[in-house]
Amino acid sequence: MSVQEIVVERNVRRRRNCQPLAGTKRAATLFRIWHGVREMIEEAERLGDGELVHFLAVAQTLIEEKTGDTAGFGEVDTSLPN
């Protein structure tokens, strides 16, 4: 009988106490993420994967909520179940 042992060591390089991004940098980061998600939605639509499109649309909505842009919420099909 063989017993495997898994040892989890703390990652010393990980920085937990980082400061939140300033307003401009935060907005720029969210803008880049939003466009990346938009590109992934287009690719998922091209592939015909409806579930992935829906999942990414939810992620896009969450990003829009973080930026305070609620106008994009009206474009999401809310008739689909979660």
Q: What is the DSSP letter of 17?
A: S
CA gap 49, 82 in Å, rounded: 16
- For 24-49, how does the pLDDT look when each residue is reduced to its tens digit (9 = 90+)? 787 788 888 888 999 999 999 999 99
Residue 60, judged by CB atoms within 10 A of its CB (0-12, 13-18, 19+), counts as buried
Asked if pLDDT for residue 82 goes beyond 50, the answer is no
Non-local (6+) Cβ contacts of 33 within 8 A are: 63
- pTM (whole model) above 0.85: no
Please state the domain extents for the chain.
23-68
Is residue 44 within 8 A of residue 53, CB to CB? The reply is yes
Share of the chain above pLDDT 70, in %: 67
